[in-house]
Every structure is written in C-alpha cells, then in structure tokens.
Chain A
Amino acid sequence: MAAGEKRRDSEAAPSPETEGAMVGTAPETLQHAEPTREEARDSERSWFLDTDTGELKPDEPDQRSGRDPQSGPRAVRVSRWTFD
C-alpha cells in the first residue's frame, strides 16, 4: 500500500444488530503503512481481560498519566464463540 494513501476506514462501531450477520464478512478497510504517534503509543499499551463483561480493557488507567480517560481506547469485546 502506498504511504500517501488516504485512510478510508469507517469510524462507525459495529452495532449489536450485526450479531446475526454472516461471520467473516467484515468490510475491507485500509490503513496507513506507517503507524501514527497514537498508534505507536497504543501498540505499547497493556490490556487486561474483564472476565465479567468479556472485554479487553486498558490495564493502566489514563488518570495516572494525566490523560482524559475518555480519550483512551475503548474496550474491545472478546468473541463469544471460538472454534478449532
């Protein structure tokens, strides 16, 4: 992918209505070849598994770093189903 190619990803989060959609049909999206500063910081972030909600959440609260917690990454729901 060319470095200057624009990002065309959708910012809309998947809705619960997609639960019944066919698996493996996530839309094609493109990303920049080089990570942004925020992406590089996010790649160093540590996570923990909230086993009550089934979500991956940032392990270190942003209050400690002085950042607004609302600006941090959102939780990522872990897949409910797995297969071999």
Chain B
Amino acid sequence: MTELPEDRVWARHRRRTGSVLIVGAGAVGGFLAEELARIGFSPLRLIDPDTLEVENLVRHPLGAGALGRPKAPALAEKIRRDFPPCDSTGLRADFLALPADRQRMLVGDADVVVAATDSAACQRHVNRVALSVGRPAVYPALWVDPRIRDAEVGEILWVLPGRRTPCYECAAAFRRAASDTEAARGARVDIQLVSLVTAHVVAALAHPGDDVSAILDRGRTAIYLHGFTPTSVGVRPVFPTSGLSSRSVRVPFPVRPCAACRGWRYVATSEASVADEAGERGRVERPRPGRPSAVVFAALLLITMVLFIVAVAEGSHT
C-alpha cells in the first residue's frame, strides 16, 4: 500500500509539516525520525555512516532483519514502508566527510537540523554549518557518566541562528577536551524519552507561530530530562523528586566571543541580551549592552579634542 487517504491519516492529529535533516541515525536519531514522520514532517533526510550491529538491537528502531545494513538508508526505507505519507531518504555517509557545499545544501534544504551523533566534533561542525546557513538546530544526547545509571539523564540543546540564542559551542565548551565516545549503553525504554521530547522541540522550532512553540523558553535553551528511574545521588540537586522530570536551563553566552557564532555576553542581540540579563539579575554586576561602546566613543572624542587643541596651539605659534 503506497497511497493512503490524507483525510483519514490525519483525522486524529493535526499535521505539522516541514523538512528535517537528521545527522545520526542511531538510537536517538532513529526514534526521532519515526516520531517526526508521524507528526507530519516530510521530507526527512537521514545521514549516518554506520551499519546496524547486534549490539544496537536493544535500543534501535530497526530490527534483526536489518542487521549489517547501513542504518540511514534502512531506516528511511522502513519509514517509507510503515508510514507512506513521509518522504524519507537515507544517506550512508559521514557528514564531516561530505564536501562543504553538499553539507550546506543538505542543511539549507531543511527547516530544522538535528545533530544526534556520538561525535563532539560532528556536533560542533553541524552547529557551524547551521549557523552559517541560518537554520535552527537541535542537539539531543544522553549522559554517559559513572555517577548515574545508563540513559538516566538526557540532554537537549536547541539553537536559533543569528545569535538569538547561544549556540552549541557556547553551551558545550567544557566538553572540548573530552574524548569522543561511541554509543554504548542504555535501554530503548529510557532513550526514547529523549527522542520524544526532541520531536516536540523540532516541531516548536519549525512552527514558531503555533501553540506548540510555547514549550520553548528562549532564555533557557538547554533541556535536561530525568527518566522514570530512581534518581542517582549525583544528580539529585537538579532532580530532587523521583521519577520522570525535566529542567529547562539557562545557557549564558560566553565571556569572550564564541568562535562559532561570535556571540558573547556583553555584545549580543537585544533579545538574547535581555534574556541573559534577566538571568544575571542580582549576580555580579557587569556592563549593560551598549555601555562599552559609549566608553570607547567618549575616549575617542576626548582624544580628538586634545589633538585639536594641540593643533590649534601649534598653529598659533607659527
């Protein structure tokens, strides 16, 4: 069956349209793609260089029948078969290895970009491309840490271009020295929560005028999720009550200009600086946006006046 009556497909859910590029078709990206298809997004473009292995089966939407197949094309085929209204395609490739113009084209063709990889380098590069092309982007991930259980905490960063929000590099600067890690642990039942919330974030970014966009607070662009599991001691201050919960956290612009988005705490867009100021209220006093330029202007004016006076004085002596 390839043709389904549209009015019946969407009879119980208002379709939200748009195109999405998903870099990384692993556990998080895979379930995300399936959810976005059913929300109504089309086309979906998936990119992943890996093949499906036995160790992936416990948490991946693809089943044993796809073992040994490249994840992205296999998943795209599954989505097309299971949900024909979605035009999904999969590319077996490493996004980092693609030519720059191809990267920009893929990102530019999307309304929203999702980077769901296990490579910090890839996440940072997707961030730079999305910023340069001007596309909103989302960065879902799960924590790997000896303090907590597998997939106990999920993390979703979302970014608006044009320094309207801090970018991925602003938020993940402390991970620059960390080693890349391969997708390792966590059960499907816990990982899917992150995919589901990410799908909501993507829908909100793709439809800023829709009521769904109310879930996003531009002043708090990092979302941390705690799954329906006992809370480990190391994260209990943030998640004081047991079970399923989430925190939307403020991410400040860096003190020095970000290498990726050039945003920084003292010279940012008016909206971002207002959001940042609201969070900084009551903390250590810092210059308001615009004050450094006023000081510089005053200094230049003073120097100009001094030079003028000196020139006039010299002229009167000649």
Contacts and interface: CB of A to CB of B under 8 A. Distances in A.
A42 B181 CA distance: 32
Given A14-B146, A84-B27, A48 B141 contact: no
B145 interface: yes
Contacts of B143: 78-79, 81-82
Interface string B112-129: 000011101000000000
Interface residues of B, number: 62
Nearest to B179: A81
B173 A51 contact: yes
Contacts of A52: 173-174, 255
Contacts of A33: 242
A74 B68 CA distance: 46
Contacts of A79: 143-145, 148, 153, 155
A71 B276 CA distance: 26
Interface of A is mostly: loop
Nearest to A55: B174
Contacts of A77: 147, 234
A22 B247 contact: no
Interface string B193-216: 000000000000000000000000
A50 B255 CA distance: 11
A26 B237 CA distance: 16
A70 interface: no
A18 B146 contact: yes
Interface stretch (B38-46, B86-94, B182-190, B291-299): B182-190
14 contacts: A23-B145, A26-B149, A38-B240, A43-B245, A49-B222, A51-B251, A54-B175, A56-B238, A76-B235, A78-B155, A79-B155, A80-B175, A80-B178, A81-B181
Q: Give 3 nearest A-B pairs by CB, closest first.
A: A54-B174, A79-B143, A82-B141
